[in-house]
């Protein structure tokens, strides 16, 4: 087998030719996306070089001046038009998502639905969250009117992944637009047609100004975007690439938001509804072929419910099937490069005493991975420590839910987690012990469907937030204004300061703040 090297993500690796399905397209000057189910070409676009990226950012800067100066109500109505247009064309978009990722069209449609819900929320709440508001001016500022307002940065660059090529980047793109920024978006090189569809739909809904543009390419185009002078960079992708992106942005002190990967834990307490837990864990682990940043990769079950959970999960998993056809529960691996990583995690688990109750190493096929359930896997196996991003799950027994939480927290990642317990208020208390950005109680991923909730992680899962009020503020710069209404009886910021004023300061320090 001929080996070729290619630059993908942050590193250059030697990869076998048959593992290069998508990235090899970058070597031709054109970016060609292919259907992972058939290998057939889906679309091709010219790769944007550094000069093209700068051109796009320059055009975006002019558009940003127009967009940022619009009355908030006008921006809201343009965004709602975009939302309506996307909703009307949702089936068409789902077909493009399906073609480029290989996921079932119903899953793709749900992704569009989620994105639309967020665009709607961002459009309708931007003015309330970001608009000018008064704040108390305090003892020293009694003569001041103090206000804070969240102003747009100007031009925001967004770099997206391929696993949810609409929902994920739109978490940055729509909130950045709603906050009054123009956006230059570089979709994943695996899903350029999806990115192009989004930009084309925007431009049909809001013609005239390039408020949302798309540029195509891989890591080099992404790096050019980081260096292009954008005012903020929103990155979604792996922790490994995130480190490179941050280093590149550091050259120009460009602020970054990082939405990285995850190794999410799913915790099952003694009082849990085990059937509901099986249903949620199976969907969380195997849905979208396990290619979900906040997917279920580790399950910790309290000892007295462990056997029941494992038996039912095994039965449920045996009924699931990955495949290229419409009847499959999930599709092939979108990125063939991930297949050896998934196989490596299974090997590592089995080599260190883990057991496969469903599937095994042989489940990793040429394009598709059949579901794998692993048990008794040591906590230091790569199957537990590293993001697998495939339809495999590790289920381990814990003595108490507190032990499960401790193990869940023992991770470099901190994206999200789930807790199953019939006692919802205890679930909320347990959630506070988890070192993650989000927690679902008695469900999987439910927080992502609530647009008012912020989403993001810590550690290798990144920092900054998309969604909700925090997501709008993420793409804004707070501006503080203190307007003097009348001359202060006590003026301390002058060389002509009075001795009696300093006496008042000393009294205040002692009697107001010194107690």
Shorter beta-carbon distance to ligand NAD: residue 219 or 360: 219
Shorter beta-carbon distance to ligand NAD: residue 258 or 405: 258
To ligand NAD, the closest distance from the beta carbon of 375 in angstroms equals: 24
To ligand NAD, the closest distance from the beta carbon of 88 in angstroms equals: 26
Residue 17 catalytic?
Answer: no
Residue whose entry in the numeric block shows the structure tokens 């630059």? 7
To ligand NAD, the closest distance from the beta carbon of 337 in angstroms equals: 8
- Which residues here bind ligand NAD, judged by CB under 6 A? 9-10, 159-164, 168, 186, 188-189, 218-219, 222-223, 226, 236-238, 241, 244-245, 248, 259-262, 293, 387, 389, 415
Q: How far is Cα 83 from Cα 178, in angstroms, rounded to an integer? A: 12
Contact between 3 and 16 under an 8 Å Cβ cutoff? The reply is yes
Q: How far is Cα 213 from Cα 313, in angstroms, rounded to an integer? A: 45
Shorter beta-carbon distance to ligand NAD: residue 186 or 232: 186
Q: How far is Cα 183 from Cα 232, in angstroms, rounded to an integer? A: 10
Shorter beta-carbon distance to ligand NAD: residue 452 or 505: 452
Other beta carbons within 10 Å of 374: 26
Phi/psi for 253 (5° steps) reads: 55, 35
Shorter beta-carbon distance to ligand NAD: residue 175 or 309: 175
Shorter beta-carbon distance to ligand NAD: residue 231 or 259: 259
Q: How far is Cα 431 from Cα 112, in angstroms, rounded to an integer? A: 29
Instruction: Return the DSSP state at 26.
Output: G
Look at residues 223, 228, 219, 230 and name the one whose alpha carbon lies nearest to residue 246.
223
Residue 246, burial from CB neighbour count under 10 angstroms (0-12, 13-18, 19+): middle
To ligand NAD, the closest distance from the beta carbon of 90 in angstroms equals: 20
To ligand NAD, the closest distance from the beta carbon of 276 in angstroms equals: 25
**3 state SS of 417:** strand
- Per annotation, catalytic residue among 158, 189, 293, 387: 293
- The CB-nearest residue to ligand NAD is 222
Q: How far is Cα 475 from Cα 468, in angstroms, rounded to an integer? A: 12
**3 state SS of 350:** helix
Q: What angle do CA 43, 45, 49 make, to 5 degrees?
A: 155
To ligand NAD, the closest distance from the beta carbon of 230 in angstroms equals: 12
Which residues does 245 contact at the CB level (< 8 Å), separation at least 6? 159, 222, 223, 226, 233, 235, 237, 256, 258
Shorter beta-carbon distance to ligand NAD: residue 21 or 163: 163
To ligand NAD, the closest distance from the beta carbon of 9 in angstroms equals: 4
To ligand NAD, the closest distance from the beta carbon of 151 in angstroms equals: 25
- Per annotation, catalytic residue among 111, 259, 297, 474: 259
Residue 259 catalytic?
Answer: yes
Between strands 416-420 and 256-259, the pairing is unpaired
Residue whose entry in the numeric block shows the structure tokens 């010194």? 514
Shorter beta-carbon distance to ligand NAD: residue 154 or 237: 237
In 142-241, beta strands by DSSP E: 144-152, 155-159, 182-186, 212-214, 232-236
Phi/psi for 419 (5° steps) reads: -130, 130
Look at residues 304, 294, 296 and name the one whose alpha carbon lies nearest to residue 269.
304
Task: Give, in order, the Cα–Cα distances in Å from 42 to each of 45, 132, 444.
Answer: 11, 46, 32
Active site residues: 259, 293
């Amino acid at each position: 087998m001929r080996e070729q090297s290619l630059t993908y993500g942050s590193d250059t690796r030697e990869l076998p030719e048959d593992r290069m399905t998508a990235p090899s397209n970058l070597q031709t000057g054109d970016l060609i996306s292919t259907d992972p189910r058939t290998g057939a070409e889906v679309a091709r676009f010219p790769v944007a070089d550094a000069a093209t990226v700068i051109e796009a950012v320059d055009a975006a800067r002019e558009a940003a001046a127009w967009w940022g100066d619009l009355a908030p109500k006008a921006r809201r109505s343009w965004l709602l038009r975009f939302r309506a247009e996307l909703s009307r064309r949702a089936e068409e978009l789902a077909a493009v998502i399906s073609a480029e990722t290989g996921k079932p069209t119903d899953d793709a449609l749900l992704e569009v639905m989620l994105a639309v819900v967020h665009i709607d929320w961002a459009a309708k709440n931007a003015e309330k969250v970001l608009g000018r508001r008064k704040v108390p001016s305090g003892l020293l500022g009694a003569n001041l009117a103090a206000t804070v307002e969240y102003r747009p940065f100007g031009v925001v660059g967004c770099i997206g992944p391929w696993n949810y090529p609409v929902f994920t980047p739109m978490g940055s793109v729509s909130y950045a637009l709603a906050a009054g920024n123009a956006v230059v978006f570089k979709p994943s090189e695996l899903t350029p047609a999806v990115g192009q569809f989004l930009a084309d739909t925007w431009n049909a809904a809001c013609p005239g100004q390039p408020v949302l543009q798309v540029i195509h390419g891989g890591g080099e185009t992404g790096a050019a975007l980081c260096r292009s002078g954008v005012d903020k960079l929103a990155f979604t992708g792996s922790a490994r690439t995130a480190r490179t992106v941050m280093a590149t942005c550091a050259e120009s002190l460009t602020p970054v938001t990082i939405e990285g990967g995850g190794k999410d834990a799913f915790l099952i307490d003694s009082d849990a509804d085990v059937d509901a837990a099986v249903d949620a864990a199976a969907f969380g682990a195997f849905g979208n072929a396990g290619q979900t940043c906040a997917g279920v990769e580790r399950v910790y079950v309290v000892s007295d419910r462990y056997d029941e959970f494992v038996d039912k999960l095994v039965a449920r998993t045996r009924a699931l099937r990955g495949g290229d056809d419409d009847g499959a529960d999930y599709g092939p691996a979108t990125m063939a490069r991930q297949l050896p990583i998934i196989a490596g995690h299974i090997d590592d688990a089995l080599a260190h005493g883990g057991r496969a109750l469903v599937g095994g190493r042989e489940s990793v096929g040429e394009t598709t991975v059949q579901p794998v359930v692993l048990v008794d896997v040591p906590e230091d196996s790569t199957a537990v420590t590293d993001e697998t991003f495939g339809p495999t799950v590790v289920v381990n027994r814990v003595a108490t839910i507190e032990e499960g939480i401790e193990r869940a927290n023992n991770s470099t990642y901190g994206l999200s987690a789930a807790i199953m317990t019939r006692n919802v208020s205890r679930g909320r208390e347990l959630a506070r012990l988890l070192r993650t950005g989000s927690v679902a109680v008695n469900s999987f991923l439910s927080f992502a469907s609530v647009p008012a909730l912020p989403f993001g992680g810590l550690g290798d899962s990144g920092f900054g937030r998309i969604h909700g009020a925090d997501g709008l503020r993420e793409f804004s710069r707070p501006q503080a204004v203190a307007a003097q209404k009348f001359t202060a009886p006590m003026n301390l910021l002058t060389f002509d300061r009075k001795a009696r004023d300093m006496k008042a300061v000393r009294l205040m320090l002692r009697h107001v703040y010194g107690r």
